[in-house]
Amino acid sequence: MPHSVAPFPATRFRRLRQSPALRGLQRENAVRAEDLIWPVFVQDGLDIETPIASMPGVSRLTIDLLVRRAADAHALGVNAICLFPYVDQSLKTEDCADAWSPDNLSNRAIRALKAELPDIAIMTDVALDPYNINGHDGFVVNGEILNDETVEALVKMALAQADAGADIIGPSDMMDGRIGAIRSALEAAGHHKTCIMSYAAKYSSAFYGPFRDAVGAAGALKGDKNTYQMDPANSDEALRLVARDLSEGADMVMVKPGMPYLDICRRVKDRFGAPTFAYQVSGEYAMLRGAADNGWLDHDKVMMESLLAFKRAGCDGILTYFAPAAAKLLQSRG
């Protein structure tokens, strides 16, 4: 206990809890729409919306629909979106060449969004898994996920995204050395203003299951991602990863998944004071939404409480599939 707390009855904590006005005065944290980054799934075609069974309320959208939904979200105060492509099976190969094609689905979506909605910040995903026939984030040779060769491909991918107009490059692959390589390449290409949000502490988590359905990687994935994503048992390692990625030129760092790793968020923020983000991943969304759809939890309340937890843990912002719903609720509260 801090020394400044006088013994009862001089100190009664309930004094400041007795009315909304007093509770408001001592409130330490708040969620704002501008803290949110909305992850979205894009697919080829026109005017098609494909619901994702394991993520109720979330759909894959064609670019035309995505632009409209992004405009709606922006009107509610969501200023940033993160794009994940659903790549057609016929484009998935071992060399993953579609990943850095200037006209791939993701890059076409970036251009369309930037043309219509220049004020929304567009974040990308840098990893080979949507393009890889075996579902891994890097090249696979004889069962091994290659590091340095993958980094070269990720650099090409990031450059194509920056050329298309991406504001924030999001390497989610967990290869070593990719932040430095991407940063140097961006600088050399004149992309001095392109930001990097490193998935610095990304754990090998079963909470990504519904996402792999959404991007069509679930069936493709052979084995697990334990040789590149972090062991859920580790905490100090996350700090070393964040230190490394900041030293290589990351502007922002991310912890992923979110709610089971709030201790990591707090340690990262306390140690580095850098812009820190958490990804409330697909499995977290599915749990909350699934329980709410069954009437077991109050949707709006658990949504806001879960987002507030990230702010309390020191995060500056949150990637969340709840972004439009949360922004709408915040707007209705004024």
Residue ranges in contact with ligand PBG by CB under 6 A: 125, 127, 129, 137, 172, 208, 211-212, 225, 281-282
In the complex with ligand PBG, which residue's Cβ is closer, 98 or 137? 137
Q: Is 256 a catalytic residue?
A: yes
In the complex with ligand PBG, which residue's Cβ is closer, 28 or 237? 237
In the complex with ligand PBG, which residue's Cβ is closer, 106 or 172? 172
Of all residues in the shown chain, the one whose CB is closest to ligand PBG is 211
Three-state secondary-structure class, residue 229? coil
* Least distance CB 99 / ligand PBG (angstroms): 11
Q: Phi and psi for 292 in degrees, rounded to 5?
A: -65, -40
Which of 317, 326, 204, 316 has its CA nearest to residue 260? Answer: 204
Using the structure block, give the residue that is written with the tokens 């490059």: 169
* Least distance CB 75 / ligand PBG (angstroms): 24
Element (H, E) at 318: strand 317-320
Catalytic residue among 114, 156, 193, 202: 202
Catalytic residue among 256, 269, 311, 328: 256
Are 41 and 86 in contact, with CB atoms under 8 Å apart? yes
* Least distance CB 281 / ligand PBG (angstroms): 4
DSSP letter for each residue of 116-131? H-TTSEEE--B-SGGG
Burial 247-277 (b: 16+ CB within 10 A, else e): ebbbbbbbbbbbbebbebbbbbbeeeebbbb
d(CA 207, CA 203): 10
In the complex with ligand PBG, which residue's Cβ is closer, 107 or 172? 172
* Least distance CB 243 / ligand PBG (angstroms): 22
Peptide bond connecting 232 to the previous residue in cis, omega within 30 degrees of 0: no
* Least distance CB 58 / ligand PBG (angstroms): 10
Residue 72 CB neighbour total at 10 angstroms? 12
Q: Is 202 a catalytic residue?
A: yes
Three-state secondary-structure class, residue 204? coil
In the complex with ligand PBG, which residue's Cβ is closer, 2 or 171? 171
What positions carry a catalytic annotation? 202, 256
